[in-house]
A and B are shown apart, each in its own frame.
Chain A
Amino acid sequence: MKYNKSLQSEIDLLDEEVQEMVEMLSSDDEGDRLVAAVNLQQECDEDTIPFLIHALEDPSSSVQLIAVTTLWEMANAKAVLPLLECINSKRDKKVSDEACSALKELINQDHLLKLLDYLESDDELQIIYVLILLRKIHDVQALPSISPYLSSENKNIRKEAVITLRYLNQLTHFTPANTLADDPDQEVRKETMLTLGNFREGCIVPILCNSLANDESWEVRRNAAIALEMHGDNSSSKSLSSAISDSHWQVRKFSMRALTKVLSEEYLGEIVKLLCDDYSDVRKEAAIALGLLGSKKAIPSLKQSLDDADIEVRIQSQKALEKLNV
Chain B
Amino acid sequence: MALTNNRVDVPVIVDESKCLDKCKACIEVCPLDVLVKNPDTGKAYMKYDECWFCLPCEKECPTGAITVQIPFLLR
Contact = CB atoms under 8 A, between A and B. Distances in A.
Interface of A: 31-32, 34-35, 37-38, 42, 62, 66
B25 to A, nearest CB: 5
B28 A37 contact: no
Given A38-B60, A38-B62, A32 B22 contact: yes
A35 B22 contact: yes
Interface string B24-65: 010010000000000000000000000000000000101100
5 contacts: A31-B20, A34-B62, A35-B22, A35-B23, A42-B25
Contacts, number: 23
B44 to A, nearest CB: 12
Contacts of A32: 22
A34 B20 contact: yes
Interface of B: 20-23, 25, 28, 60, 62-63
Given A31-B20, A34-B20, A38-B25, 11 more contacts: A31-B22, A34-B63, A35-B20, A35-B23, A35-B62, A37-B62, A38-B23, A38-B62, A42-B25, A62-B62, A66-B62
A163 B26 CA distance: 40
Contacts of B23: 31, 34-35, 38
A38 B23 CA distance: 8
A62 B20 CA distance: 13
A38 B20 CA distance: 11
Nearest to A62: B62
Nearest to B20: A31
A201 B20 CA distance: 61
A62 B63 contact: yes
Contacts of A62: 62-63
Contacts of A66: 62
Contacts of B20: 31, 34-35
